[in-house]
A and B are shown apart, each in its own frame.
Chain A
Amino acid sequence: MLANIWILSEKAENLPELCAGARQYGQKVSAVVIGSAADAEQASGAGPDQVYYWPRGATDLFEDFTAPVSALLLAEQPDALFVRDSRRARALAGRIAARMGTAIMANLESCALVEGKLLVEALMFGGAAVRAQKATGLAMLMIGGGFFAAEAAGGKAPVAVQESKPVSSGATLVERRQVETEKVNLGAAKQVVGVGRGLARQDDLALIGDLARALGAEIGCTRPVAEGENWMAKERYIGVTGAMIKPDVYWAFGVSGQVQHMVGVAGARVIVAVNKDKNAPIFKQCDYGLIGDLYKVAPALTNILQKS
């Protein structure tokens, strides 16, 4: 076992997952909290042995805690730092990594303790490769949601309030506002219809909507559909940098089958592909492929399903 693992999350609600994960490899688990007293309280009950708490004022930037957190890391010398993935946490972790002289391991497939070191398998090249690696110094791991499962924790860990202050990089806050996000749980869906750039217009999503209703399926898409075209919410794109899903059936319409997308559906029991190009790479990665026009296939399929 490693002697001491630190965990850090922008949101305290994600600490139970990280803590349960860190417990598998570390004797002692210490949580870093940059936030409110309520966050520190929540962290204390999430299962760690120790909480280091930095109070964060309303205009303090999360990223400006680089110096105080790094200083304590240098003093305490933990073996590893597990960071729950979020954009702010990535920004802070990148800066900490530079100070600690290490690189963050991200896009994890697996993690194991081998000969006293964390052996981490990470996806590379959009999923076309898996790399096994170890850190030579502090091991910093970027942990996605659901990588570890939370466990019930009892007791309360002591909270050490830190006196050290954030150090401003010169940036000042002008405004913060909430933005609408769509709540979808593609991961739990039994059937998912995925749309690719084979769809010509946003209006044509109606065809896919009809089919999804007939199937009782959720709708997902490829990254360019959500990001270049902005036809669907970002929460709906599937792939190495988006949702990783495990439905019984994944229906891909007008999806070419690039590795970055297909990695996200590798866990599907059955993959069905509809593409008009018989050379599309997806036909080598599906169970059933129909070479044809999605504009004919989707309505025909809806029709058959509605009748049965």
Chain B
Amino acid sequence: MKIIACYKIVPEEQDFLVDPDRGLSYARAEWKIGQYDLNAVEAGAQLAAATGGQLLVLSVGAAELENGKLRKGILSRGAEALGLVIAPELKDADPHQTACALAAAIRSWQPDCDLVLCGEGSADVYGQQVGQQLGELLGLPAFNAVSRITPQDGRIRIERRLEAEAEVLDLPLPAVLTVTTDINRPRIPGMKDILNAGKKPVAVLPLEIKAEQTLEVISTLAPKPTPRQCVLIEGDSADKVAELVGHLQKELGR
């Protein structure tokens, strides 16, 4: 089975700088791979191993995708090759544009792939829709909330975890699936995996992305802060705990 797992890189939110007008800057932020995208990559690696198949990884975005450490990071998780679409327009891509870019990339790079995997939601927008939009654009069956994937002769069986129901479906291939965050525990790559990752092929796809922006962004600001008192007590002896209780009794007027 030839599998593509899609992942997105995002700036580390703990590195954001906030100015007094709630303006945000990511300029100093480290970039990272979305936490829940790793579940898609791991699911792909396990399926590739089980079927004697091949896992590829794919991301679309702006210049931050040039980052060599992140490329090695993703390739150290069981994938054989990486495909990238790097375009300045994709810096502000909305979920629809993202899905259009991914669809174009898959059509040109791996038109014969059997399965596309996405994570539950990206670490920035968390729109939880790119997989579904991608499936529709490619004209393939697409399902979210997939908690188990079992390959069968030319088809796959999936289990979905919905709010109060589990659903088992049989699907023809190719298909697009969005996996849950607890479908697996993503591996922690070893030193050897990371060294090997540096030797794996990276294809930067020469694609023009034509999708129009469908969401007009008016502003992106830090949330209004909730003022907190930040009274700190150091130590965990019974006296210190009693001191804490004293503060609370005063605070709650009891």
Residues of A within 8 A of B (CB): 61, 63, 66, 86-88, 90-91, 93-95, 97-99, 101-107, 119, 123-137, 169-179, 181, 227-228, 230, 240-241, 248-249, 258-259, 263, 266, 270-272, 278, 281, 283-293, 296-297, 300-301, 303-305
Residues in B with CB closer than 8 Å to A129 are 13, 16, 24, 220-223
| Known contacts A87-B144, A124-B125, A288-B229; A175 and B168 CB within 8 A of each other | yes
Whether A124 lies near B248 (C-beta < 8 A) is no
Q: Does B124 contact A (CB under 8 A)?
A: yes
A266 to B226, CA, bound (A): 7
Whether A106 lies near B244 (C-beta < 8 A) is no
Residues in B with CB closer than 8 Å to A241 are 121, 126
B45 to chain A, nearest CB (A): 18
A293 to B241, CA, bound (A): 11
Whether B241 lies near A91 (C-beta < 8 A) is no
Q: Which 7 A-B pairs have the closest CB atoms?
A: A94-B132, A292-B236, A98-B136, A169-B141, A128-B13, A94-B129, A98-B133
Q: 29 interchain pairs (CB within 8 A)? A: A86-B162, A94-B129, A98-B137, A101-B96, A103-B97, A103-B214, A125-B16, A127-B223, A128-B24, A129-B222, A131-B217, A131-B220, A135-B214, A136-B212, A172-B170, A173-B168, A176-B167, A227-B181, A230-B182, A248-B252, A266-B226, A270-B248, A284-B228, A288-B251, A290-B244, A291-B234, A292-B234, A292-B235, A304-B245
Whether A90 lies near B170 (C-beta < 8 A) is no
Whether B136 lies near A66 (C-beta < 8 A) is yes
Whether A301 lies near B241 (C-beta < 8 A) is yes
Residues of B within 8 A of A (CB): 10-11, 13-14, 16, 24, 94-97, 99, 121, 123-137, 140-145, 157, 160-172, 175, 181-182, 185, 212-223, 226, 228-238, 240-242, 244-245, 247-248, 251-252
A87 to B24, CA, bound (A): 32
Residues in A with CB closer than 8 Å to B175 are 171
